[in-house]
């Protein structure tokens, strides 16, 4: 839907890699979660507190294109891929500083829920506008 937005930079830490100095596969989803949290903050969407925009993950896909390695400087980029009535999908790319191609492409699908009932809730027009920046 929109262009990618640079949301967060990180350096791969020793604790995040395996014996070959490659980022362990589950960490890619942790990185994506950090990137999307910053994406929400950048758009003024509450990520905590009484006005939090509550979402639950319903699907996560990671395309591992090329490994991230210890001590590399990684930039997290995100964009809204789709917004439905109560669900949305985001695309996250993890890129190493100075490289054009993403090392990983991650798609995360969420459903917005009413925290009191745990049931899907419609995404308001205001929230749609914020998500789309």
Domains contained in the chain, CATH given:
5-132 (3.10.129.10)
Q: What is the pLDDT of residue 105?
A: 98
User: What DSSP state is assigned to residue 14?
Assistant: G
Q: CA triplet 107, 113, 115: central angle to 5 degrees?
A: 135
Handedness of CA 23, 33, 5, 11 (dihedral sign): negative
Is the CB of residue 4 less than 8 Å from the CB of residue 79?
yes
Tens digit of each residue's pLDDT (9 = 90 or more) over 23-60: 999 999 999 999 999 999 999 999 999 889 999 999 99
Tens digit of each residue's pLDDT (9 = 90 or more) over 56-102: 999 999 999 999 999 999 999 999 999 999 999 999 999 998 998 99
- Contacts (Cβ under 8 Å, ≥6 apart) of 78: 4, 5, 7, 35, 36, 39, 90, 91, 92, 93
Q: Based on the number of CB atoms within 10 Å of its own CB, is 22 exposed (0-12), middle (13-18) or buried (19 or more)?
A: middle
Q: CA triplet 89, 15, 19: central angle to 5 degrees?
A: 105
- Contacts (Cβ under 8 Å, ≥6 apart) of 24: 16, 17, 18
Q: What is the pLDDT of residue 13?
A: 97
């Amino acid at each position: 839907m929109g262009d990618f937005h640079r949301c967060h930079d990180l350096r791969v830490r020793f604790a995040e890699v395996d014996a070959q100095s490659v980022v362990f596969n589950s960490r890619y989803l942790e990185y994506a979660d950090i990137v999307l949290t910053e994406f929400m903050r950048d758009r003024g969407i509450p990520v905590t507190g009484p006005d939090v925009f509550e979402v639950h993950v319903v699907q996560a896909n990671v395309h591992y294109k090329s490994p991230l390695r210890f001590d590399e400087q990684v930039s997290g980029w995100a964009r809204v891929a789709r917004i439905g009535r109560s669900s949305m999908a985001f695309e996250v790319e993890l890129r190493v500083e100075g490289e054009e191609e993403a090392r990983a492409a991650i798609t995360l699908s969420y459903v917005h829920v009413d925290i009191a009932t745990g049931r899907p809730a419609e995404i308001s027009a205001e929230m749609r506008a914020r998500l789309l920046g």
